[in-house]
């Protein structure tokens, strides 16, 4: 693993259940495939104290922190300012970021209001990340080997900035790590009976992780999706680990349950 | 507001981005409409230390804690045991819960293995909540005015237990609180220009909250969904607050932008 990652999501709309946090799932998948171990997703409201607290804890505990939300021009967009407070530094207008913001508005005849200038404010030494879709730049900040990235909450903007600027950087940090996964679907055996089999498969290699997800009704019509994951230093090695674990899982289930179990892979 | 709520989600599948956390959004919406202020959603892996830490912090900070995931029969389902550890008590087999679990399995000829008995373990004094869909009971625990509820991660099971047993209890606690919301859609005005208008509408009443969500491209084709929320002691009062705020918002936008703005409500 390349390091521990935390994902922070800012927005009241997530905490009243109006919006499902697809941003966090998208980022979690990206970070996992890049070789990072995502240990927390934390959702906080659009309030300074909560954002500052979340930043401080995340920076303290993780190697990489990715935050989404609260970078726009409205009064409740305060993430960049809260980030400065968490670091204990004064927010400054970044010249490059201001150029980006000004370019978006002035060419269409809109004035550069204080709300718009706010989108160019960040900690001294931070790098603005161009937003090809919307107006608020992302913010990248490195300190003491830790990386903090602030992205807008609008999914199209977040994804574009991540793929253009954050993913290449994360890929280049540390040794290469590859992640592989496979799914085995088992009908006819309750989850509780599979538990000792999963325990045995996980003993094969500590880089392998196996988890069952019940889909049917556990007792009447048991249907399990069993996910197998592994990470290793090369693509081939990660895939070989997953193959080995998957073969062993199927072998053990057949041995133990014979015709009762119907198995398929995907 | 009836109190502060935290939502905890346990599961590696959420942290590798394989599953989107729809459970948290569903619960957040339920809790909000029941009058609670959801202040955090925290996702942790299937590991004891992480779950214990999340429980301790949540119980310390919130009045109501709702957790989903990790109550099943597999080896990585450890939430009920981690909860006991967080409370500093020994997990005991709850007789009523054991009856529920036994009933599910024995009637279909399955044995009561240690993995299945584990699903009946909880802190002394906790109440098991019948699961009409799956096998793992929910767990309800009250102490010092705080309420902690553990629910399975399978959405159908979580929703059924919540609606049958948790929602009526939360409704009965504290004074009645009603929540109302409305959406105003504005085309043709950039989000940054709406910011001062939103600030003015929010000054109407501290029980009103207004937030804009950009949907189109901020500068070329601005499209904003503006959400207005209010909570009050009666349904009528909450609706009246939202109506008043919505009317004022539309009035101010018309006044300021005239024909440039195209407004609709939903």
Tokens of A23: 């941003």
Residue B15: what pLDDT? 97
Contact A13 B76 (CB under 8 A): no
Q: How far is CA B6 from CA A6, A39, B215, B238, in A?
A: 18, 18, 29, 23
Residue A265: pLDDT band (50, 70, 90) is: confident
Place of tokens 């990652």: A5
| Nearest residue, CB atoms, B24 vs list A21, A44, A135 | A21
Interval A5-32: pLDDT, tens:
999 999 999 999 999 999 999 999 999 9
Residue A216 clears pLDDT 80, i.e. is over it: no
Average pLDDT value over all residues in chain B: 93
Average pLDDT value over all residues in chain A: 93
| Nearest residue, CB atoms, B14 vs list A20, A31, A41 | A41
Residue A186: pLDDT band (50, 70, 90) is: very high
Phi, psi angle pair for A219, to nearest 5° = -100, -50
Q: Which residues of A touch B133 (CB under 8 A)?
A: 217
Residue B152 clears pLDDT 90, i.e. is over it: yes
**Domains observed in chain B:** 3-172 (3.40.980.10), 178-265 (3.30.70.380)
Residues in A 240-259 with any Cβ partner in B closer than 8 A: none
Q: Is the Cβ–Cβ distance between A87 and A51 less than 8 Å?
A: no
The closest alpha carbon to B265, from B161, B186, B175, B197, belongs to: B186
Residues whose CB is less than 8 angstroms from the CB of residue A231 and which lie 6 or more positions away in sequence, other chains included: A1, A35, A177, A178, A179, A180, A207, A238
Q: Which residues of A touch B193 (CB under 8 A)?
A: 110, 113
Residue B68 parent element (H or E): strand B64-68
Residue B163 clears pLDDT 90, i.e. is over it: yes
Residues whose CB is less than 8 angstroms from the CB of residue A3 and which lie 6 or more positions away in sequence, other chains included: A36, A37, A62, A63, A64, A174
Interval A88-102: pLDDT, tens:
999 999 999 999 999
The closest alpha carbon to B148, from B68, B67, B71, B85, belongs to: B67
DSSP string over A100-144: HHHHHHHTTT----HHHHHTTEE-TT-EEE--SSSSSPEEEEEET
Contact B135 A219 (CB under 8 A): yes
Maximum Cα interatomic distance, chain B, rounded to a whole number of Å: 73
Interval B2-29: pLDDT, tens:
899 999 999 999 999 999 999 999 999 9
User: How far apart are the CA of B213 and the nearest CA of chain A, in angstroms?
Assistant: 8
| Nearest residue, CB atoms, A44 vs list B27, B40, B198 | B40
Residues in B 102-131 with any Cβ partner in A closer than 8 A: 104-105, 108, 110, 113, 115-116
Residue A177 clears pLDDT 80, i.e. is over it: yes
Q: Is A217 an interface residue toward B (CB < 8 Å)?
A: yes
Residue B115: what pLDDT? 87
Residue B139 clears pLDDT 90, i.e. is over it: yes
Residues in A 25-64 with any Cβ partner in B closer than 8 A: 25-32, 38-46, 50
Residue A218: pLDDT band (50, 70, 90) is: low
Residue B218: what pLDDT? 58
Give this complex's ipTM.
0.89
Q: Is A212 an interface residue toward B (CB < 8 Å)?
A: yes
Chain B residue with Cα closest to A218: B134
Q: Is A260 an interface residue toward B (CB < 8 Å)?
A: no
- pLDDT > 70 in chain A, percent: 98
Residue A219: pLDDT band (50, 70, 90) is: low
**Please, how many CA atoms are within 13 Å of residue A16, restricted to the half-sphere of its CB?**
19
Residue B216: what pLDDT? 67
B141 vs B120: CA distance, rounded Å:
14
Q: Is the Cβ–Cβ distance between A9 and A51 less than 8 Å?
A: no
Q: Is the Cβ–Cβ distance between B132 and B164 less than 8 Å?
A: yes
Residue B206 clears pLDDT 90, i.e. is over it: no
Q: Is A244 exposed, middle or buried (0-12, 13-18, 19+ CB in 10 A)?
A: middle
DSSP string over A181-207: EEEEEEESS-HHHHHHHHHHHHTT-TT
The closest alpha carbon to B82, from B91, B72, B73, belongs to: B91
Q: Is A143 an interface residue toward B (CB < 8 Å)?
A: no
Residue B217: pLDDT band (50, 70, 90) is: low
Residue B66 clears pLDDT 80, i.e. is over it: yes
Q: Is A12 an interface residue toward B (CB < 8 Å)?
A: yes
| Nearest residue, CB atoms, A42 vs list B16, B40, B181 | B40
**What residues does A147 pair with on adjacent strands?**
A64, A142
| Nearest residue, CB atoms, A211 vs list B13, B196, B213 | B13
- Dihedral of CA A237/A243/A248/A253: which sign? positive
Residue A118 clears pLDDT 80, i.e. is over it: yes
Q: Is A216 an interface residue toward B (CB < 8 Å)?
A: no
Residue A108: pLDDT band (50, 70, 90) is: confident
Contact B220 A108 (CB under 8 A): yes
């Amino acid at each position: 693993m390349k390091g521990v990652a935390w994902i922070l999501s800012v927005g009241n709309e997530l905490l009243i259940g109006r919006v499902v946090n697809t941003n966090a799932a998208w980022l979690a998948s990206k970070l996992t495939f890049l070789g990072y171990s995502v240990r927390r997703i934390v959702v906080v409201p659009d309030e300074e104290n909560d954002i500052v607290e979340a930043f401080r804890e995340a920076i303290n505990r993780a190697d990489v922190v990715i935050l989404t939300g609260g970078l726009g021009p409205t009064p409740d967009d305060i993430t960049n300012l809260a980030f400065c407070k968490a670091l204990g530094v004064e927010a400054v207008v970044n010249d490059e970021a201001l150029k980006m913001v000004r370019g978006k508005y002035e060419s269409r005849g809109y004035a550069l209001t204080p709300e718009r200038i706010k989108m160019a404010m960040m900690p001294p030494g931070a790098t603005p990340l161009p937003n090809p879709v919307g107006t608020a730049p992302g913010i990248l900040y490195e300190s003491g080997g830790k990386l903090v990235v602030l992205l807008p909450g609008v999914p199209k903007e977040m994804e574009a900035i991540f793929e253009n600027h954050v993913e290449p950087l994360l890929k280049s940090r540390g040794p290469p790590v590859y992640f592989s996964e496979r799914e085995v679907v088992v009908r006819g055996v309750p989850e509780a009976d599979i538990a000792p089999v999963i325990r045995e498969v996980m003993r094969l290699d500590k880089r392998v992780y196996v988890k069952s997800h019940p889909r049917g009704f556990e007792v009447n019509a048991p249907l399990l999706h069993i996910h197998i994951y592994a990470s290793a230093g090369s693509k081939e090695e990660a895939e070989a680990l997953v193959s080995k674990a998957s073969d062993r899982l199927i072998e053990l289930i057949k041995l133990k349950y014979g015709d009762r179990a119907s198995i398929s892979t995907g």
